[in-house]
Amino acid sequence: MIKIDHLTKQIPGGPTVLSDISFVAHKGEFVSIVGASGSGKSMLLKCLALREKWTTGKYTVEGVDVLANFFTGQSKIRREFAFLEEKPILSPSRTALKNVLVGTKYQTPAWRMLTGMVRNDDYMGAMDTLEKLGLLDKAKQKAEQLSGGERQRVAIARALVHGAKVLLADEPISGLDPHTSEQILRDLKALCQQGLTVVAVIHQSELAEKFSDRIIGLNQGRLVLDVRGRRLTTAEKLQL
């Protein structure tokens, strides 16, 4: 379980961009973060990924205080939490399969990223994962020839192959057409049913309602909604 207690982030010498945020995300849950532009969604996700520091507050994973424990806290997050960028960074001249196998700088040693060398027995797992995400026929295609939705799914496959138990996705469907957006969210939902935890920034609240188990709503850095297992009421939507 991921647990955030009273997290506040103040930019040094600047504004407070997250104020007193508390929520939990259980294993296998699909949690959407919604809110207007500038409400702090990406900042919250980056704090969860340890890409940003917060000012006060406690972050625990499986009961372990993340900041107080290096190996069972910070190191575990770096190993098991994958951050999915809005526009995934793939190596354009490498195939989808090679991108999945090689991993990112957070997932794999630098020498492997540079040389592209992988173990033969890793191939089967990568192909299985690409198949699960409907990309088997694209495995040998160069990343630069893939569509936006396919690139996003390659990034998801890459995270899974490198052992991600939690996906932190920053607007994973931004710029994609409605059909592809739903396909990606359906894939993520199916992975949650297999035990993956997903925390995703989603701009369209109707898609968040359709696919997520829990909706966290932010307004000007404050948590204004924490809704589980149902759609948002009109009054709740007005709070965003």
Ligand X SMILES: Nc1ncnc2c1ncn2[C@@H]1O[C@H](COP(=O)(O)OP(=O)(O)OP(=O)(O)O)[C@@H](O)[C@H]1O
Quick one: which segment of 35-43, 55-63, 132-140, 157-165 binds ligand X (CB under 6 A)? 35-43
Please check whether residue 30 is in contact with residue 213, taking contact to mean a CB–CB distance below 8 angstroms.
Answer: yes
Per CB under 6 A, 40 contacts ligand X: yes
Name which position in 8, 16, 19, 42 contacts ligand X (CB under 6 A).
42
**Separation CA 200–CA 180 (nearest Å):** 16
205 sits in which H/E element: helix 205-211
Name which position in 2, 29, 30, 39 contacts ligand X (CB under 6 A).
39
Quick one: which segment of 22-30, 31-39, 103-111, 187-195 binds ligand X (CB under 6 A)? 31-39
The residues that bridge with 23 in the sheet, in sequence order, are 4
**Separation CA 58–CA 69 (nearest Å):** 12
Per CB under 6 A, 38 contacts ligand X: yes
Per CB under 6 A, 217 contacts ligand X: no
Name which position in 13, 37, 119, 234 contacts ligand X (CB under 6 A).
37
Residues in touch with ligand X (CB under 6 A)? 11, 14-15, 17, 35, 37-43
